[in-house]
Amino acid sequence: MSLGRWLTRLWLILLAALTTIVVVACNQGTNTPTTGGNPGGGQGLKVGVLLPVTGDLSAFGQPMVKAIEMAVETANSCGGVLGQPVQLVKEDDRTSETAGAEAMNKLATIDKVGAVVGAFGSGISSAALAVAVPNQVVMVSPASTSTVFTERAKKGEFQDFWNRTAPPDTYQAAALAKLAYNKGFRKVSTIVINNDYGVSFEKVFVETFKALGGQILNEQDPSRYDPKATTFEAEVRKAFGNKPEAVAAALYPDTGAAVLKSAYELGLLEGVQLLLTDGVQTEAFPKAVGTKPDGKMIIAGALGTVPGADGKGLEQFQKDYQAKYNQPIGAFVPHAYDATTLILLGAEAAKSNQGAQIKTKIRAVAAPPGTEVSNLCEALKLVREGQEINYQGVSGNVDLDSNGDVQGAYDVWTVEADGKIKVVDRISA
């Protein structure tokens, strides 16, 4: 054998060995060892996590992962699911549709999870569903709110493998439109991120606000910005240039901050009420937009909506989360806990770790006429005994309809001068 061929063969052997070491190391780093939940590999339940630990939405994703871990730790402390500890397999979607699809492929085909909590971004959930449904993996999103999922579910595209514990934008966009009208605004413009989340939000907001009697100034030429763009002057002028009384903005944090900073620098925010959404309800967002010369936040006084939490178990959950992580719960954290809990209860009720069976019970465990229960350990105990339950979540009653949707009320929040986020009201659609 020539020296060249020998070196090539040696390189391939080393590459294969290195790949094996990396895969094993990654699995050891993210998984809690159990006997597994894959077909033919035991009866334990594997649950995947597909949320943004990095990227544009990471400020939301990181606290939500903690809530998921809390739910699994609680279940494991009282017997686990199917008689074994639940195993979590965590993946970072990096706020990227491509990365999300790749991570879902790993979860479905290599880790062979029965269900996944996620994703956050609606576009990422759409990409992940293309992998999850054919592989019969249940998805329960705590945060993807696009109306597109409702429309696709009605057509039977998801085969009941899709559910979410956050209400769709059908409700939130209508609630924000109602808030705008109730505040006396009649001439409003919109600016949204150009993806499933933004466009579907825009559609419902426009329809609702017009039905109430308001006018959308840029309806014929809507302002939708590319999340990969670096300048936003054209989109900003399109939204703010017609002297609207208010602008409804469905944004993501990093790019959204650049959009509003551009509007400020162009002198277009003066006298305009900003109406924001759940996508930017973090205290890091006002800081990213910046401050005025007087030290006050540029977007002080902005109003927004976010899915609220008012479940029977909320008070205890808040105390437990604060004690464990030394931080208050944020947006969608209760919804992440409930999404995980529904998967655990659905698997126990189905007596299976496989998505095809879990999907048949995941809606039943949170619906009447079963016994109402909000404590996870108590709920698991009742299910093991063969009783029907109606789980009452920390985010709300989590009654899933035939499309996998929940309804919900919305907290109204505002940005204070120092950038703090304060909940000031509640509104329903």
How far apart are the C-alpha atoms of 149 and 4, rounded to whole Å?
Answer: 55
How far apart are the C-alpha atoms of 149 and 406, rounded to whole Å?
Answer: 12
Q: At 12, is the pLDDT very low, low, confident or very high (cuts 50, 70, 90)?
A: very low
Tens of pLDDT, residues 163-187: 999 999 888 999 999 999 999 999 9
Residues sharing a CB contact under 8 Å with residue 67, sequence separation 6 or more, in sequence order: 321, 329, 333, 334, 336, 337, 340
Where in the chain are the domains? Answer: 42-169+312-391, 176-307+409-427
The average pLDDT across 191-215 equals 95
User: Exposed (0-12), middle (13-18) or buried (19+): which is 402, by Cβ within 10 Å?
Assistant: exposed
Q: At 428, is the pLDDT very low, low, confident or very high (cuts 50, 70, 90)?
A: confident
Does the pLDDT at position 35 exceed 80? no
How far apart are the C-alpha atoms of 145 and 332, rounded to whole Å?
Answer: 11
User: Are 42-169+312-391 and 176-307+409-427 in the same CATH fold?
Assistant: yes
Tens of pLDDT, residues 341-363: 999 999 999 999 999 999 999 99
Top mean pLDDT of 10-19, 27-36, 213-222, 309-318 is at 213-222
Q: What pLDDT is recorded for position 21?
A: 37
Report CA Rg, the chain.
23
For the chain, the average pLDDT equals 90
Q: What pLDDT is recorded for position 2?
A: 39
The average pLDDT across 372-396 equals 97
Does the pLDDT at position 299 exceed 60? yes
* CATH classification code of 42-169+312-391: 3.40.50.2300
Longest dimension (CA), the chain: 84
Place of tokens 């989590």: 398
User: And the tokens for 259?
Assistant: 């959009």
Does the pLDDT at position 196 exceed 90? no
Q: Under CATH, what is the fold of the domain 176-307+409-427?
A: Rossmann fold (3.40.50)
How far apart are the C-alpha atoms of 338 and 71, rounded to whole Å?
Answer: 8
Q: Which amino acid makes up residue 356? A: A
Q: What pLDDT is recorded for position 33?
A: 32
Q: What pLDDT is recorded for position 42?
A: 60
Does the pLDDT at position 37 exceed 90? no
| Percent of the chain residues past pLDDT 70, beyond the cut | 90
Q: What pLDDT is recorded for position 17?
A: 39
How far apart are the C-alpha atoms of 192 and 41, rounded to whole Å?
Answer: 46
How far apart are the C-alpha atoms of 427 and 381, rounded to whole Å?
Answer: 36
The average pLDDT across 218-225 equals 97
Q: What pLDDT is recorded for position 155?
A: 98
User: And the tokens for 230?
Assistant: 């670096």
Residues sharing a CB contact under 8 Å with residue 150, sequence separation 6 or more, in sequence order: 168, 170, 403, 405
Does the pLDDT at position 300 exceed 80? yes
Q: Cα dihedral angle (203, 208, 210, 213), rounded to 10 degrees?
A: -170
pTM (2 d.p.): 0.79
Tens of pLDDT, residues 241-250: 999 999 999 9
How far apart are the C-alpha atoms of 132 and 136, rounded to whole Å?
Answer: 6
Do strands 410-415 and 421-427 pair parallel, antiparallel, or not at all (unpaired)? Answer: antiparallel
Does the pLDDT at position 317 exceed 50? yes
Q: At 7, is the pLDDT very low, low, confident or very high (cuts 50, 70, 90)?
A: very low
Q: At 429, is the pLDDT very low, low, confident or very high (cuts 50, 70, 90)?
A: low
Tens of pLDDT, residues 232-284: 999 999 999 999 999 999 999 999 999 999 999 999 999 999 999 998 998 89
